[in-house]
Amino acid sequence: MNINKAYVQAVKPDKVEDLEVSRATIEDIEGILAVASSVGTNSKDHRKGFLMDNYLKDKEKYVEKFKKDIKNSKLFYVIKRGEKVLGFLLAYTREQWLDMEPNWIFSTMWKGDFDKKSLKNFVILEKIAVRSNLTGLGIGSKLYKRFKEDSRAMGIRDMFSETIISPKPNFASMEFALKQQYNLAGIRYEKFESKVLTDIVYHRKL
């Protein structure tokens, strides 16, 4: 049996509640890369969702990146069935995000009615990914639920997320944003390799 078909058969919608969400560890990196590689390739499927990075191209680069994130982020999770990583979520605190993207607040064109007090203390959901053949089963929602609970326990009440709308719209990510009741907060342009991306910046209260 094809391993992807085996995953689909093993994880049904009524079984998602049995999956375990935990903080990511070094031992999870291979599984995280497998998930990322299933949605982060040169081929960007806007229906199933995608990550911009090509995780098949430079494995060692991303191994080191994930090691650093595991060490520094309290909001890096995996969801597993047994020892198999089916999805992951990575988020950063305001301090961490602005250390990586110091001009983010000023380069975003915020909506006129957006309350900028929400920028004082926030988390940003950087990546959420589920194996490409397991989307739509509620796996991402379970990861998101744990992320929200832990963020609130840290005293944080505002979160942001970005979704690419150009040059190729990530419709699956936009649908997830609607499902989780995100609100449009602004628009941002960013350089990625030789491209200029247009991102929707979403906000919601936790």
Is the pTM of the predicted complex or chain greater than 0.75?
A: yes
Phi, psi of 20 (to 5 degrees): -100, 130
**pLDDT score of 12:** 53
User: Which amino acid is present at 186?
Assistant: G
Backbone φ/ψ region at 181: left (φ over 0), alpha (ψ -120 to 50), beta: left
* Domains defined along the chain, listed by start: 3-205 (3.40.630.30)
64-104 confidence digits (pLDDT tens): 999 999 999 999 999 999 999 999 999 999 999 999 999 99
As given in the structure block, the two tokens for residue 89 are: 């979520």
Mean pLDDT of the chain: 85
Using CB atoms within 10 Å of the CB of residue 5, give its burial: 0 to 12 exposed, 13 to 18 middle, 19+ buried. Answer: exposed
- Taking 70 as the pLDDT cut, the residues of the chain under it are 1-14, 40-53, 167, 169-170
* CA distance linking residue 64 with residue 69, whole number of Å: 9
- Strand arrangement of the beta sheet that strand 109-110 belongs to: 20-23, 76-81, 84-93, 123-130, 158-166, 195-205, 183-192, 109-110
